[in-house]
Each structure stands twice: as structure tokens, then as C-alpha cells.
Chain A
Amino acid sequence: MTKLKVPVSSEDHVQGPETAEVTLVEYGDYECSHCALAYPIMKRIQQHFGKRIRFVFRNFPLTESHPNAEAAAETAEFAGAHGKFWEMHDLLYENQPRLSGALLLELARKLQLTPAALSQALEDGQFTAHVRADFSGGVRSGVNGTPTFFINGYRHDGAFDFADLLQAIDEAIGTTSSSARG
């Protein structure tokens, strides 16, 4: 089984308590249509498991095929630096069909962030290293496309519809409650 090489840390964007029974890590790309399909499914999964789940999102922009993916990822990181990562993450997926440089500025404005500061950050590549580090860690962990999920540190190779993920997470919870966590 393919294992996550980079453990969840304070560098990550996390929703849910540290004490959660299950940690679900997604490697995603804001311009990837499959990731946009996964987005509402993640919401349902989080709703279903409540405090029993911790959700982590890491960047895996496929920049060769998705021209806006890198800037979108850096925009989410910019918002994160102002405490609004998840708000931006959600807006990016909800508005994916309109993804463009102009949309990024519009979304920044919507979240009361300064569009000029975002432009500057993108131009200076302030968050490029962070996004690259996510990407490298993903490649080393066996991420071979987007979205890729890890459940309690193991890559989920099945489908990512609600029923499949639900079952995989239930199984992971079963494993952790019946044996020592490793």
C-alpha cells in the first residue's frame, strides 16, 4: 500500500480536530474538473463524520495542462496567510468554470482581501515554494493524478464517490479502533 511520505503538520491547512479518528488528505488542483466533482463529496463526508474526521488539502497543480492552476493554488495560500484559506478554497471550486486571473482578484475582493496585494504576491512568487513543496511531497507519496486521497496515511486507490469513500473511511476507523494506531 502506498504511504503518505509527508506527515500532516502545522504547515498544512486542516479542518477538524487533531484528535479525529480519521485524517483524510486530498492532493488537488483548482482547475481539475475531477477535483471539482470531489469538492461537494468532501463536504458531505465531513458532514457525515463530524468531529471524527480531519480534512487536509494540499496543492498538486498540473500546470502543464492547467494554465490557471498554479496561480489559483497560490491565491488560496495567499488567502491562507490572512486566515481565509478554506473560504478561498471553496470559492475556487464553486467558481471553477470561470477560473481566470480576473476571477482570482474578484474572489480576493469578495473575501475582503486586497487584490493589489494578491497581484503582488503572485508576481513575486511569495507562495510558489509552498505550492512546489506540496507538489514534491505528493509525487514522493505516489500521487499520480488529481484528486488523490490518503486515508490515515494510506493512498485510497478506489473511486472517490461518496459511497466508496464512506466505506473506505469506515474501514479505516474499524482498523484504528481494533488495533493500536501506527
Chain B
Amino acid sequence: MDVSPVSKNDSPVQEDSGLLAPGTQAPDFTLPFAPHQALSLSELRGKPVILAFYPADWSPTCGDQIGLYNEVLPEFQKFGAELLGISVDSPWSHKAYTEARDLHFRLLSDFEPKGAVAKQYGAYRSANGFTERALFVIGKDGIITWNYLSPISVNPGADGILEALENLPK
């Protein structure tokens, strides 16, 4: 990916896509993943993290992005990576969706203030009121190493994530 080098201390630099660029420190956040439980990104320091912003729960099934990631999870885990889904849906929606689809990874709720974390990452669609379909891979040190902005209706697959995980410093 064509990215101009940035130092860790620079303020967030954005690429043309508007997403936070590789080389940037991933902004920390704390979001609920269940009605009464929350997770901070900083808790996962020391392992690679995949952030998958997606527009909404309950999108059509059979080959949808979240369903695919649920299948591919063992491949991500080979790299010791933690996958987090993020949308503006409420924790109650995430809970029902997780149970209905038997998802094995956490979905975070960027619900209040709506889309605040997505905005920090440059992954919010103000016109629609939901998040972009955007992917980030964050290294063990908390630095973003890869990002990808997918057309909103296109499943970005998992190949880019796996390549980015392979390219992480060992």
C-alpha cells in the first residue's frame, strides 16, 4: 500500500480513503460488547488486533462478511490475533445477532455517542449514520499496520487481513 512514512508521535495522518493511516497509533477506546460488559483496545496490547467496522447487524446471510469471519476465525487465531467487529448497533442488537449467528468473536457497540470511535478512525458515514466497511490491522505495539476501505456493499473477504497479519513483525 502506498503510504507516506509517519512517525509514531505525529498526530493522526489520514490517507485519501479518510481512514487512519498505517504507522499511526491506534486511538484507544472503550466500548460495550454486551449489555453490561465493555472492552478497551488497550487491554489487548501485546497481541495483533483486527478491527472490522461494518455497517449493521442483520445483513443478509450466506457469504456475508461477519459470517465469513466467523468461519475464518481459526486462521486469524494462528497469528494470535483478536478480531473485533464494530458497528453503531446497540449492545442488545449485538447480543441477539451474536446468538442467532453463533458468532465466536466480540461485536463492539459504537452506539453512544453514536459512531464516535468510527469517526476517530475515519470510518464513519455521516450521510448514512452508520460505519464504513473498513478494516484495520493493529500490531502488538498498538500501531496500525494496514487498513482497507471496502465499497459499502462489497464483502472485503479475509485475504487482505491474512496478508497483513503475515507481514507483521514476528
Contacts and interface: CB of A to CB of B under 8 A. Distances in A.
A155 to B, nearest CB: 9
Contact of A143 (B65, B75, B102, B157): B157
Interface in A61-82: 62-65
A50 interface: no
Contact of B159 (A63, A135, A139): A139
Contacts of A141: 159
Interface string A122-166: 000000000000011001111111100000000000000000000
A38 to B, nearest CB: 12
A144 B155 contact: yes
B167 to A, nearest CB: 13
A15 to B, nearest CB: 24
Interface string B81-123: 0000000000000000000011010000000000000000000
B28 interface: no
A139 B158 contact: yes
A47 interface: no
B68 A144 contact: yes
Interface in B35-56: none
Interface residues of A, number: 19
A65 B67 contact: yes
B162 interface: yes
Interface of A: 2, 5, 32-34, 62-65, 135-136, 139-146
Nearest to A61: B71
A146 B102 CA distance: 19
23 contacts: A63-B71, A64-B67, A64-B71, A64-B101, A65-B61, A65-B62, A65-B67, A65-B101, A136-B75, A139-B75, A139-B158, A139-B159, A140-B159, A140-B163, A142-B159, A144-B63, A144-B155, A144-B157, A144-B158, A145-B62, A145-B63, A146-B62, A146-B63
B64 interface: yes
Contacts of B63: 34, 62, 144-146
A145 B68 contact: yes
B72 A139 contact: yes
Contacts of A65: 61-62, 67, 101
B67 A139 contact: no
Contacts of A33: 62
B56 to A, nearest CB: 18
Contacts of A136: 75
The 5 A-B residue pairs with the shortest CB-CB distance in the complex, in nearest-first order: A145-B63, A144-B157, A144-B155, A142-B159, A142-B157
